[in-house]
Amino acid sequence: MLPGPDTLPAGALESAVLSSLPGKQPLIKRTYRPPNYETPPAALNDPFTPNSRFFVRYHLSSIPAVDAAAWKLRIGGDAVGTPLEYTLAELQRRFEVVDLAAVCQCAGNRRGLFQPHVPGIQWGHGAMGNALWKGIRLRDVLSRAHLKKEALEVTFDGADTGVLAKTPDFVKSLPLAKALDDHTLIAFAMNGEALPHWNGFPARLVVPGWTATYWVKHLNAIDVVSKAFDGFWMKTAYRIPTGLFAEGGRFLSQQTETSTPVTELLVNSLITHPADGQRFGHGDAIDINGVAWDGGQGISRVEISTDGGRSWDLCALGKDYGPYAWRPWVYRFAPSHSGTFAVKVRATNRSGSTQGTTAIENPAGYHHNAIQTITIHRV
């Protein structure tokens, strides 16, 4: 068993076993079928999360190994003038290839930390990663399809399906404006290599700043539609109560009086070193490290408390890889006496949003961004 945050419910801790998927280093297994594996905390220390340690999240159990040579991307829907179909080679040849650093984070990351407990996969801190994505702009592809003026949303389907015919297919939609954003990509590669099978080979959507539910893997069909898409994964899943969170990109064509899709990532941070409960010797200076990110405004400051939140000091920010990437930070702590120290970290973004002491409760356990606390001991 792995050490885990002591606020995780017992069930989640017991299931925290390391196990490997083909082509991956050991990850923390949450479910085997469909495969749901999270990145161990120590592997989140790097500016870019290695592909072999990048988390894996699926809703459906039938996940075909896609043959890149036979794969095609189809673009259609009632709001395109010209339906299109491209092979992988055609997409890579005909459109400008761009790079973008961005955090891919499941909306349910840290669900296991909610008190009271909410149903769903009991993720710890590792249902996220930061990668350098390489691909083409979705906008450039859509412009060749001649969008009609009634275009409202764009839907995305991947090659995976349910085992039973009645399982709703995983199809997501974006509002037209987000689909046409310069930074929304059809990506083929991450961190300089082709996408791993488990992260969407041969192509996935990259929707920087928005929760990973929109980052459809094994992408094979795009439809531009004139009506709000009403599939299960938009209408029923991945929703939060309307108005509960002050921030976040609005998705008005999907909003009802009571609920709205979870969209933009909230400002958040993670302590990646030391581990919770770690012990240090007399006289040791302790480098406390971590990362901070948000939905694309960019991080303006990271503060740390080593006395349980009574006083706060500024951390040094590391290299800026762009507003959608996470920002490394570091703080050198030289305790003047022995004892136990409660370390807390709080990030603030460029529009002044910050983390609170508790997460905002919501039925599906999304958007957990409470200030994290770890305890360290100096003998």
Ligand X SMILES: Nc1nc2c(c(=O)[nH]1)N[C@H]1C(S)=C(S)[C@@H](COP(=O)(O)O)O[C@H]1N2
| Residue 225 to residues 157, 180, 191, Cα–Cα distance (Å) | 13, 14, 33
- Residue 154 to residue 172: CA distance in whole angstroms: 8
Under DSSP, the state recorded for 44 is G
Single out the residue of 106, 219, 286, 347 in contact with Mo ion (rule: CB under 5 A): 106
Under DSSP, the state recorded for 336 is S
CB nearer Mo ion, residue 212 or residue 376:
212
Q: Report residue 158 as tokens.
A: 């991947």
- Stretch of residues binding ligand X (CB under 6 A), selected from 48-56, 242-250, 285-293, 296-304: 48-56
- Taking CB under 6 A as the rule, which mask of x and - marks residues 222-261 in contact with ligand X? ----------------------------------------
Count Cβ atoms below 10 Å from residue 165 Cβ, excluding itself: 6
> What angle (nearest 5°) sits at the alpha carbon of residue 14, between those of residues 162 and 379?
140
Under the binding rule (CB under 5 A), the answer on residue 213 touching Mo ion is yes
Smallest distance, Mo ion to C-beta of residue 208, A = 15
- Stretch of residues binding ligand X (CB under 6 A), selected from 52-60, 77-85, 142-150, 361-369: 52-60
Contact 132, 101 (CB under 8 A): yes
Residue labelled with tokens 């350098």: 132
Q: Report residue 335 as tokens.
A: 């305790």
**Long-range Cβ pairs for the range 240-243 (8 Å, 24+):** 240/362, 240/364, 240/366, 240/367, 241/362, 241/363
> Which H or E run contains 376?
strand 372-378
Contact 341, 368 (CB under 8 A): no
Under the binding rule (CB under 6 A), the answer on residue 158 touching ligand X is yes
Question: What letter represents residue 157's amino acid?
Answer: D
Under the binding rule (CB under 6 A), the answer on residue 262 touching ligand X is no
- Residue 367 to residue 356: CA distance in whole angstroms: 12
- Restricting to residues 87-116, which ones interact with ligand X according to CB under 6 A? 104, 106
Give which of ligand X, Mo ion, none residue 364 binds (C-beta under 5 to 8 Å, depending on kind). none
Closest residue (Cβ) to ligand X? 158
CB nearer ligand X, residue 160 or residue 294:
160
Smallest distance, ligand X to C-beta of residue 280, A = 33
Closest residue (Cβ) to Mo ion? 106
Contact 339, 279 (CB under 8 A): no
> Which H or E run contains 259?
strand 259-261
Smallest distance, ligand X to C-beta of residue 228, A = 20
Smallest distance, Mo ion to C-beta of residue 222, A = 20
- Residue 137 to residue 141: CA distance in whole angstroms: 7
Under the binding rule (CB under 6 A), the answer on residue 121 touching ligand X is no
- Residue 129 to residue 53: CA distance in whole angstroms: 9
Under the binding rule (CB under 5 A), the answer on residue 237 touching Mo ion is no
- Stretch of residues binding ligand X (CB under 6 A), selected from 85-93, 110-118, 213-221, 353-361: 213-221
- Stretch of residues binding ligand X (CB under 6 A), selected from 77-85, 216-224, 245-253, 279-287: 216-224
Under the binding rule (CB under 6 A), the answer on residue 216 touching ligand X is yes
Under the binding rule (CB under 6 A), the answer on residue 217 touching ligand X is yes
Under the binding rule (CB under 6 A), the answer on residue 36 touching ligand X is no
Single out the residue of 41, 49, 58, 113 in contact with ligand X (rule: CB under 6 A): 58
Binding site for ligand X (CB under 6 A): 54-60, 104, 106, 158, 160, 170, 199-200, 212-213, 215-218
Binding site for Mo ion (CB under 5 A): 106, 212-213
